[in-house]
Structure 1
Amino acid sequence: MIKLKPTYIVERVTDINLNDLKADNIKGMIFDLDNTLMHPKTSYLPEDIEKWLDLVKNDFKIAILSNNPYTKYVKEAGERVGCVAYERAGKPRRKAAIRALKDLDLLPGEVVIIGDRPLTDIWVGQRLGMVTILVDPLLKHEEVWIIRYLRKLERIFIAKASKTFTQLEEK
């Protein structure tokens, strides 16, 4: 059975409570790139996310796992964020995520995967036994129609699978 229900849902990555994750023995974070950390197909990293990532790197190992096929774009994003970045990840396939776990030297239960797509980011995390966090896409209105349609279907599927979501709350 496909597991698309995320462990947590937050609006933006900056809403994630880092103390809660540390208390749950999370030692690493794997991020989707486009529409999670950066605006899609641009090199724009919002300032609040950039500052938040600086805090994250104090306590967590991090990596970027992107389905984006453009090596230069993804690698430059990784350099800007200050972490290893994998392009052409093929999510929800597990191969690239397993490679990221090995490179981070962490077990799946010690890592949270964060992304904006249940059918890719959340599903691969669920398949590997990671904590999963679904975020709202940074730029919903600029997506092609098929992606907007798929997002609606994903949300309906998740809502039917679970009437309520556990929220990460700021303390």
Structure 2
Amino acid sequence: MPSNPFIVGKPVPPERFVGRTALIETAFDQISHRSNLSVWGGPGIGKSSFLELLTWPEIWRIHQTDPSQAVIVLLNCLSIHPFSGSGFWGKVLSLIKTKLDSNPELQADIDRLVQEGKSTAKDFLEVLGKLGAHNKFLVLLADDYRSGRV
């Protein structure tokens, strides 16, 4: 029996990811339907590695899905100190902004929303609407979400 390639606290690189074929198929089915998916389990089973894999353009090509319209954001909730709702939404919006180099107008809108440090779910929904208006959609990969609870 092969050893577990997943190590607690250190995601494996996408090119070394193994298994989880059904979960990967489910994820791309959910992405194609603009739906959602929650993955949970104990430490060391590959949750963080799985989320990292979904950021890899090659896996999108393997699953015949064009990543060019997706804004793919990987957020580890442990990076938000102290964890709060406004901290969560502000971090999500800031990460979205980093993926929008080709859209300075939308980046400026996000700057305006996060400037006060009191970002809300309403701000997030506003940005989602603007992404949609630009024929983009968000793939938000939130790791260690239970650590904070928005």
Structure 1 and Structure 2 fold alike (TM over 0.5): no
Q: Which has the higher contact order (CA 8 A, sep 6+)?
A: 1
Larger CA Rg, structure 1 vs 2: 2
Normalising by structure 2, what TM-score?
0.30
Normalising by structure 1, what TM-score?
0.27
Judging by fraction of residues, say which structure has more helix. Answer: 2
